[in-house]
Amino acid sequence: MSVRPVKATRRSPASLEAAEKRAANIQNRIADVITRFAGSMWFVYLSAIWFFCWIVFRVEKYPFGLLTMIVSLEAIFLSTFVMISQNRADEKREILSQHEWEFVQQEEKQNEQLLQLSNEILELTRVIHQLTVTHTGGEPPPAPGPDPKAP
């Protein structure tokens, strides 16, 4: 019932999996529908019309005890649905956080592998240079260390 435009965005596999698990439960689907409707302007319009008609057509006399009870119950249920919605958002954030953590761990492994490969390439370059110097009879390069010309 929401009038919000739907944007086509790519979702992470972890997020899609969580949404599928959530949709498998009928209670979650009902809560999602109610939350979507209660968070829309249509709900505001419908409530305003309801209250206006209740008062104008004098469904009950002032001080509107039944209307007050209905509004209180509505507030109780809506606050419950807001908390359900927040819990769902927390679950999504937790899933995405876990997915990002796993991704960072994979990147860390790749970085370690790249560092190891770089060190092996450096060592092979030194060996090749040493062999070249030995084979051509040239002078070996200075040992690696701080640059004596540096200030």
Answer whether residue 123 shows pLDDT above 90: yes
**DSSP sequence for 33-66:** HHHHHHTSHHHHHHHHHHHHHHHHTTSS-TT-HH
Give CA–CA dist 13/118, Å, rounded.
Answer: 33
Give CA–CA dist 146/150, Å, rounded.
Answer: 8
Assign 8 to helix, strand or coil: coil
Neighbours of 131 (CB within 10 A): 10
In tens, the pLDDT along 37-84 reads 999 999 999 999 999 999 999 999 888 999 999 999 999 999 998 898
Average pLDDT, the chain: 85
Answer whether residue 13 shows pLDDT above 80: no
Give CA–CA dist 27/18, Å, rounded.
Answer: 15
Q: Report which of residues 110 and 22 the model is more confident about.
A: 110
Closest-CA residue to 31 (of 92, 90, 72, 78): 78
Identity of the residue numbered 60: E
Q: What is the DSSP letter of 139?
A: P
What residues have CB less than 8 Å from 114, skipping those under 6 apart? none
Assign 68 to helix, strand or coil: helix
What residues have CB less than 8 Å from 98, skipping those under 6 apart? 14
**Torsion sign over Cα 56, 59, 62, 67:** negative
pLDDT confidence band for 150 (50 / 70 / 90): low
